């Protein structure tokens, strides 16, 4: 069974944070926002996790360029997200929710009554099987998937070796703080042999002159470079 090609896109501060301890995440310049919306328009679907949905309440539509809206995918194992989120307005674009068998049945029914497609995925400890979730999305015709966050969803995809491309914009801010969010959260990989290896395939200075955008391909086997 196949799965979509997965691209992760994050904008982080120079010290590696995607949001502050209180959820402030306005790091992108207008050109970076346009880059993101180009990717939204050129992928079949865009994915975020429940915490990002609740904190930012994004619509995940294409606005900075002319293009079609992708399918919106929300990963929410316990269906914590409130029903009035912009994502659940399917007049703008279709929405799929990946959840677990532990999700409240009445919440599932409420979402389905709004026209949201809810897919129940088997649980794996604290989360759901992202491998199974991506296969289900592929079955719906989704061949390319853009992942915008947050850190726990990105970790779950890297943990299961499901990311193909990692794009990061480095923004000229220092946020600091041990409770600030990094691009990849979760438990983390303990040793060099476990780490995900990336291959730099392109980079450029943003049109604003203050940001750098890096594009990596993911190498899912162990590689060690001697410097």
What are the pLDDT digits (tens) for 29-54? 999 999 999 999 999 999 999 999 99
Q: Burial letters for 62-93: b for 16+ Cβ neighbours within 10 Å, e otherwise?
A: beeeeeebbbbbbbbbebebeeebebbbeeeb
Q: Which long-range contacts (CB under 8 A, 24 or more apart) does 184-190 make?
A: 184/151, 184/154, 184/155, 184/158, 185/150, 185/151, 185/152, 185/154, 185/155, 186/151, 186/152, 186/155, 186/156, 186/159, 187/155, 187/159, 188/155
pLDDT at 221: 54
pLDDT at 122: 85
Task: Give the residue-averaged pLDDT of 189-199.
Answer: 93
Q: Which residues pair with 46 in a beta bridge?
A: 72, 146
| pLDDT greater than 90 at residue 126 | no
Query: pLDDT-based confidence at 72, cuts 50/70/90?
Result: very high
What are the pLDDT digits (tens) for 204-224? 999 999 999 999 999 865 555
pTM of the model: 0.94
Q: Count of CB atoms within 10 A of residue 170's CB?
A: 20
Query: pLDDT-based confidence at 66, cuts 50/70/90?
Result: very high
Three-class DSSP labels, 134-152 = HHHHHHCCCCEEEEEECHH
Cα(164)–Cα(198) distance, integer angstroms: 10
Q: Count of CB atoms within 10 A of residue 2's CB?
A: 9
Phi, psi of 110 (to 5 degrees): -65, -45
Percentage of the chain beyond pLDDT 70 is 95
What are the pLDDT digits (tens) for 162-179? 999 999 999 999 999 999
Task: Give the residue-averaged pLDDT of 47-74.
Answer: 96
């Amino acid at each position: 069974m196949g799965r979509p090609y997965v691209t992760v896109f994050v904008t982080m501060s120079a010290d590696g944070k995607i949001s502050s301890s209180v959820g402030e995440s306005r790091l992108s310049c207008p050109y970076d926002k346009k880059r993101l919306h180009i990717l939204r328009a050129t992928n079949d679907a865009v994915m975020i996790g429940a915490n990002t949905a609740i904190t930012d309440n994004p619509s995940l539509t294409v606005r900075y360029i002319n293009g079609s809206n992708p399918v919106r995918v929300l990963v929410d194992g316990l269906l914590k997200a409130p029903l009035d989120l912009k994502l659940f307005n399917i007049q703008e674009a279709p929405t799929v929710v990946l959840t677990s068998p532990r999700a409240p049945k009445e919440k599932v029914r409420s979402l389905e009554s709004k026209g949201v497609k809810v897919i129940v995925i088997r649980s794996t400890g604290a989360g759901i099987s992202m491998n199974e979730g991506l296969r289900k999305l592929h079955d719906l015709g989704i061949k390319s998937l853009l992942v915008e966050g947050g850190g726990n969803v990105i970790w779950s995809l890297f943990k299961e070796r499901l990311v193909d491309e990692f794009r990061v914009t480095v923004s000229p801010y220092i946020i600091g703080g041990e409770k600030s969010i990094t691009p990849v959260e979760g438990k983390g990989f303990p040793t060099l042999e476990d780490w995900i290896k990336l291959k730099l395939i392109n980079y450029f200075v943003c049109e604003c002159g203050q940001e750098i955008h890096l594009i990596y391909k993911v190498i899912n086997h162990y590689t060690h470079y001697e410097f």
